[in-house]
Amino acid sequence: MKLIDLRSDTVTRPTPAMRAAMASADVGDDVYGEDPTVNRLESLTAEMLGTEAAVFASSGTQSNLLALLTHCQRGDEYIVGQQAHTYKFEGGGAAVLGSIQPQPLDFEQDGTLELSKVTQAIKPDNFHFARTRLLCLENTQAGKVLPLDYLQEAAVFAHKHRLKLHLDGARIFNAAVKLNVSLQEISRHFDSVSVCLSKGLGAPVGSLLCASREHIKAARRWRKVLGGGMRQAGIIAAAGIFALENNVARLAEDHANAALLAKGLAEIDELKVASASVQTNMVFVSVGKTAAAQLPDYLKQRGIVIRGGQTIRLVTHLEVREEDISIVIGAIKEFFSRSRV
């Protein structure tokens, strides 16, 4: 039975066409800078984002960490969202490996960090405090697209306060497709941007950090330190190139499917859909405690995989087709109509 897996857009598997691109990739030793496919992926991504350079990393976690280690020294501080991936979901890497102190702040409803609150968190230049060096944003943030005006304001703000500005752009492609703008309209405001190939773009592995030539040169040293220097990595870089060339525009289908899913689920009284956050490929729904405990198993038996909990994140991606959405809505409606009798 084909599973409809809505837990994350990371569950996508390489298609036969992507695998063919991987199988026929030209490779060399990337630690010597000699893998032509990795080199092509790096220059293609840098070109798409409008940065001087890019470096291929094994994961988004590593790519974000490269940026943090490059922007900040021991005893420096970065300001970041309380729920940000970089802060909350990366094992505290900046602190563990970089002696970089995080200063988390709550995200606003729209996924931004309120700049007046950021101002208050910036430490004065005084030996009692860590040195605030970096502001880190996330786009999309829980499926929400940061407004372009806000990015402009954040860039001016960072410059004024002498902070570097990093974007965790794991899903920057979703943001650009949603806004119908080039990636550069987003990336141009930042000193560094991390992008993931292994989310909605459907590649099996890989992220890139994009920034100035100088920043990337330093990041390459950190990548080696972290054990991230890979050899014939062209095998996986080829999947990344395939993803960038074929799977960006189609993210609009994932967004349409998420909207369809949200609309169908909104008809169910027992569910509360966070409709304001349905902007790209994610739908957040809240359910009661009893339903939360039973729903995942009920759906599993019908070939639908979701995460547990009372706030459920449902994510659409390239293995979820439009027909699947009505199957999911139907199964969830059935679950609640059964428990009503």
Member of 25, 45, 60, 324 binding ligand PLP (CB under 6 A): 60
Strands (E), the chain: 4-5, 53-57, 76-81, 101-105, 131-138, 164-169, 192-196, 207-211, 272-273, 282-286, 304-305, 311-315
Report if residue 164 touches ligand PLP, rule: CB under 6 A. Answer: no
Q: What are phi and psi of 44, to 5 degrees?
A: -60, -45
Member of 15, 39, 59, 99 binding ligand PLP (CB under 6 A): 59
The site string for ligand PLP over 202-221 (x = CB under 6 A, - otherwise) reads: -----x--------------
Nearer to ligand PLP, 72 or 291 (CB): 72
Nearer to ligand PLP, 75 or 91 (CB): 91
Nearer to ligand PLP, 62 or 101 (CB): 62
Pairing label, strands 131-138, 76-81: parallel
Nearer to ligand PLP, 175 or 299 (CB): 175
The site string for ligand PLP over 254-293 (x = CB under 6 A, - otherwise) reads: ----------------------------------------
What is the number of the residue whose Cβ is closest to ligand PLP? 60
To ligand PLP, the closest distance from the beta carbon of 144 in angstroms equals: 11
Report if residue 247 touches ligand PLP, rule: CB under 6 A. Answer: no
Cis peptide before 290 (omega within 30 of 0): no
Report if residue 191 touches ligand PLP, rule: CB under 6 A. Answer: no
d(CA 45, CA 195): 9
* Long-range contact pairs involving 306-311 (C-beta distance under 8 Å, separation at least 24): 306/6, 306/7, 307/7, 310/286, 311/284, 311/285, 311/286
Nearer to ligand PLP, 111 or 264 (CB): 111
Numbers of helices and strands, H then E, in the chain = 14, 12
**Residues between 67 and 126 that touch ligand PLP (CB under 6 A):** 85
| CB-CB contact of 131 with 76 (8 Å) | yes
Nearer to ligand PLP, 65 or 291 (CB): 65
Report if residue 174 touches ligand PLP, rule: CB under 6 A. Answer: no
In this chain, which stretch among 103-111, 195-203, 219-227, 242-250 interacts with ligand PLP, using CB under 6 A?
A: 195-203
CB atoms within 10 A of CB 119: 12
| CB-CB contact of 258 with 280 (8 Å) | yes
To ligand PLP, the closest distance from the beta carbon of 24 in angstroms equals: 25
The pair of structure tokens assigned to 75 is 């005893």
d(CA 161, CA 178): 30
Nearer to ligand PLP, 12 or 207 (CB): 207
In this chain, which stretch among 70-78, 196-204, 293-301, 324-332 interacts with ligand PLP, using CB under 6 A?
A: 196-204
CA angle centred on 25, ends 21 and 31, rounded to 5°: 135
Member of 6, 69, 163, 170 binding ligand PLP (CB under 6 A): 170
Report if residue 138 touches ligand PLP, rule: CB under 6 A. Answer: yes
d(CA 74, CA 97): 9
Name the residues that contact ligand PLP, by CB under 6 A: 59-61, 85, 138, 168, 170, 196, 198-199, 207
